Structure 1
């Protein structure tokens, strides 16, 4: 394994490496080896002030550029990210334990694809929205950048979740202060390197890894116009309260406890083949993972056997090995959290059909065996709380109506799947599930379609054209009947 260390002793503010105002650093520990991978500087309040000030200085000129000009910058930014994709994916895997077979897409190439997508979107939509007024005359609806964006991202999908904010924000003409999670602070600087290579103007993108206190300072900062956050529901609630008090726009993508509903006519071979990517992707450290499996009582034994045998056969090991399917968790604390839930399920009397411990052949690294509980009551703690690890529960049901009620009996509503050979039946079930996204025999985020949750899973949407709108504010310009009807000069600000 590569023994290189990746130290980042400077922050990225106003287009260049900047010495931090504090001596605080975070040691990033490799999930599979428990050895030091590198250190990163942590920002303090003075650094947050500097980053926000740089973003504010850059906002006027960046927002005033034509959409085509911003799109050209974004295309160069995407190319710079793409050229680093393999190295970025490997670094992220070393930080959080994500198997490289997954990381190469979500941390390697997906960020560049998102930046390219929003570059195309603004390039193709560079026009004002001119509407006839119901009172005569016309109204020109202009879309302007919302301003300086505080983007706060977690450690589980560090590159793609950051890009889900950076790409539409920059496309809209906003400037950004990115606060990545300390656990994955090192890979965040790939965005800085790519921004410099692409020639993004100084201050358009600023990167300041920080702890929770400095992150809270950023959320409340008077120079911030919008907050975009992905993380836990409790943290999102706290951020939402602050933004509500400040009347500050906020996007919150939070936790989940999604169902994977198997119907009587389901193709169990397909279900088993997709189980890893739908329910255990990234070692279960995924907000939309379908960790609550609902099985019809008529096929319950079949489902339990299929899930158990599939999970038992998963290959656990080094996340940099392309054959690995389950890697380590991000930290010792996360492993203890997940093992605590396993013990909770065991103490409640639920049977473990496979897993339930630390793998004996992995003495180093924060590994947990993928674990399956069967016969779980939907009211059990392991069925209701987000575990964020490789733990699945199987709950029986008698009727489709009961299954839908079980699916909706949750504080969360982010994802979910149904498994059926009748797509129309699957669509009808999807209509009745309280969730922002849902899959029929499949679940994979579509970069061109909105993603987000309902209930305690968050507010707002990311991705697709809908993901651009939160970074824009509309201004209506009214023209009466006596005004000239020619198009308004100046073009669009989209």
Structure 2
């Protein structure tokens, strides 16, 4: 059992302002798996002051990109050596199945390398060719660090979310306060230990688990220059309003209700097998999940049958077991929320294909939900429009390709999407019409070198690669 009775502030383990430790409960059986101190406003003040001093007066922002890359490579190597521990901690604290936590950890190096490659090829300083040949002036364009970054991450994939923010922010020369959810106090405490071993300069990085109220205090702090947030659309709207009032830089990666378009010529069996990882990752608690499955009307029942067979084949249970695919919801309130949506789907008139609001037999101690599939769903139903964040899929019929694109785009969200077809070029043509920040074709994974983010209510700005790195910089033009 891990216990963190101090907070990692500015690179040093520090006594918290309030010494009461939070019990971290297993979503599987409610047992206590660890204890951790939580940050409060006084702790935020100390972390921001340390970050401000480090940025304004310390060496980090004045090091070269190559020096920052070398130090962060050391941190990434430390993280690689401890992936098993991090994965096990995340499974214990938030209920993510071990296949998923191990897969996420294995992908972090690709995530890291995407940012490093971008940093190595980034236009940190460029001299412009004068547009007027007779000009006696020249302009130098620099990309400089924004300053103090408040990186606020959710509980569902903490290491991936942390890497999305702290790596580009640090590569650009910023100081960072990483604000984690209380549910991830153990894994993020362990990540802080690895950051300590990497020996970043004093004040450059803090890792603080804290509740929503303390998070709001952080993002409102006058000495924070940029907010980088991943989480719900509702919370993102609050943060955007705070950023607007204070003219802070802000990037938001928010919710989704993404569609998987199965075209008539697609291999249905293969497409549905791909949906195992695209529609039900992380127990369905994933913003990227393709939870609306769009099927051609002439093959609708074939798709419904295949999805039913897939979902019923997935083992639900102890998330630490290697053969478990779907574990519990993170908290009892999230379990109740998902079960209420399942009941709502029944009341809206959708056909319950498999699953239902009942808790899986033998798993009553945990925050479990029975994986559920609805058919005969109209896209106007709440179960087709609202982000459920659990193992609930809806299958929607479409008449033709234009109708499929219309349904896919008929959403307040625009984060992700997928297209399946035997004709790759045709699938690409459809993908170009889907108004989301990311679209995958025939089960391809999301790439770490291209920009990632959403249209509409799915966010503002982009992460990953050169575009993501650029959001942690300001432009400066010097005319000589």
Instruction: Give the whole-Å Cα distance in 1 for the aligned partners of 2:140 and 2:4.
Output: 47
Q: Are 1:14 and 2:10 matched, yes or no?
A: yes
Tell me the distance in 2 between the aligned counterparts of 1:24 and 1:377: 49
Aligned pairs for 1:295-334 within 5 A? 295-334=295-334
2:51 corresponding residue in structure 1:
55
* Paired residues for 1:44-193 under 5 Å: 44-60=40-56, 61-106=59-104, 108-125=105-122, 128-135=125-132, 136=135, 137-193=137-193
Q: Hey, what's the Cα distance between the residues in 2 that align with 1:397 and 1:115?
A: 40
1:47-446 superposed matches below 5 A: 47-60=43-56, 61-106=59-104, 108-125=105-122, 128-135=125-132, 136=135, 137-356=137-356, 357-446=358-447
In structure 1, distance between residues paired with 2:114 and 2:387: 31
Gaps of 5+ in 1: 480-494
Distance change >3 Å, CA 127–CA 152, structure 1 → 2: closer
Cα contact 2:53–2:203 (8 A) shared by 1: yes
Provide the C-alpha distance between the structure 1 equivalents of 2:467 and 2:226, rounded to a whole number of angstroms: 16
How far the C-alpha of 1:295 sits from its partner, in A, is 0.9
| 1:78/1:116 contact within 8 Å kept | no
Match of 1:329, SS? Answer: coil
SS of residue matched to 2:432: helix
Normalised by the length of structure 2, the TM-score is 0.96
Distance (whole Å) between structure 2 residues aligned to residue 477 and residue 292 of structure 1: 50
Displacement after TM superposition at 1:163 (Å): 0.9
Q: Quote the Cα distance in structure 2 between the aligned partners of 1:63 and 1:119.
A: 17
What secondary structure does 2:471 align onto?
helix
C-alpha distance in structure 1 between counterparts of 2:258 and 2:150, whole Å? 28
Tell me if structure 1 keeps the 8 A contact 2:262–2:295. Answer: yes
Q: Matched residues in 1 for 2:233 and 2:250: separation? A: 14
Q: Does 1:35 align with 2:31?
A: yes
**What residue number does 1:26 align with?**
22
| CA distance in 2 between partners of 1:375 and 1:240 (Å) | 37
Bigger CA drift: 345-354 or 133-142? 133-142
Q: Where do 5+ consecutive residues of structure 2 fail to align?
A: none
Q: How far 1:310 moved relative to its partner?
A: 0.8
Q: How many residues align?
A: 474
Aligned equivalents of 1:14, 1:301: Cα separation in 2: 57
Q: Does the 8 Å CA contact 2:418/2:441 hold for their aligned counterparts?
A: yes
1:444 Cα deviation from its structure 2 partner: 2.2
Contact (CA 8 Å) 1:28, 1:183: kept in 2 or not?
Answer: yes
- Indicate the larger mover: 255-264 or 346-355: 346-355
In 1, Cα distance between equivalents of 2:147 and 2:404 = 44
User: TM-score, length-normalised on structure 1?
Assistant: 0.94
- Write the distance in 2 (CA, Å) between the matches of 1:66 and 1:122: 11
Q: 1:390 to 1:127 in 2, by over 3 A?
A: closer
Counterpart CA distance in 2 for 1:320 and 1:367 is 14
Contact preservation (8 Å) 2:264, 2:296: yes
Per-residue deviation, 1:351: 1.4
8 Å Cα contact 2:296-2:399 kept in structure 1: yes
Q: CA distance change for structure 1 residues 397 and 118 in 2, over 3 Å: closer, same or farther?
A: closer
Instruction: Supply the distance in 2 between the matched residues of 1:124 and 1:36 (Cα, whole angstroms).
Output: 47
CA-based RMSD of the aligned residues comes to: 1.3
Distance in 2 of aligned mates of 1:24 and 1:412: 39
Deviation (angstroms), 1:116: 4.1
Q: Secondary structure at the match of 2:414?
A: coil
